[in-house]
Structure 1
């Protein structure tokens, strides 16, 4: 028996992006920059950048998942890694597609550390077992998610 999946198509992604941006805006948070977690966070970071009128986008390459329900023991930052000086004193919005275990978001959040003025997280999906509670979440699910940009 196959596990039921959450399926996100491009049209729904557009709606989700605008609604997620609305949550950030309605909360009064005005990020100076958006930090995308590649690869899944690239699409939502771009959409949030347009919706929130934030032109300063950075990318953090992190490898964790290697397949469906297959992952490394710990997430690993891959080069090029953003320079801390580029983040210094900024209000940062970390963007990713899903908060699953929370390990990737924690790694990136910890990287920002005391270098930034403030850091918050925005994700399309949050799983119930995540170790990181994001400030902005479009939808909660316990299913595997098929994103329109992924091959699985």
Structure 2
């Protein structure tokens, strides 16, 4: 299956396309980017959609060097400030586990939570409300220089 390498210019184009898909269908009051991969597109979307409230969340699957079974939120956004329409952003919907955990957490205070990703893998447990490209390949973004060595 191989790698799908995304260049910096392709990343920017994809963020523009994603913003266009979102613009007329959803008006977010804030954006929450999933770290680390979702932080870059979250910043792009914040700018392109004119959404000033931008927060981050970090989710880990690892305990030491071993991958755990369930995702664990290691850095929460300020949940008391997250209200209204929330756009949850990640770079790729792979297993969907991270998106499930974070979306459930955000739904406690939000009016509505919608999910946006650059890539969507068909086996994901979550189909994003907005995505640019469907793929089965391992996606490597320009900010992931160590991914090729795994």
Superposed displacement of residue 10, structure 1: 0.2
| SS of the residue 1:47 aligns to | helix
Aligned partners of 1:110 and 1:137: how far apart in 2?
20
**Residue 40 of structure 2: aligned partner:** 43
Spell out the pairing of 1:13-92 with structure 2 (5 A cutoff): 13-27=11-25, 29-64=26-61, 71-79=67-75, 81-88=76-83, 90-92=84-86
Q: 1:6 aligns with which of 4, 9, 30?
A: 4
Runs of 4 or more, structure 1, over 3 Å off, are none
Partners in 1 of 2:39 and 2:121 — Cα distance?
Answer: 19
TM-score (norm 1): 0.89
Structure 1: runs of 5+ lacking an equivalent: none
Give 1:64 shift.
2.9
Mapped to 2, the partners of 1:10 and 1:72 lie a distance apart of 31
**Which residue pairs with 1:125 in the alignment?**
119
How many residues in Structure 1 have an aligned counterpart in Structure 2?
144
TM superposition score normalised by structure 2: 0.91
Aligned residues: CA RMSD: 1.6
Give 5+ residue unaligned stretches, structure 2.
none
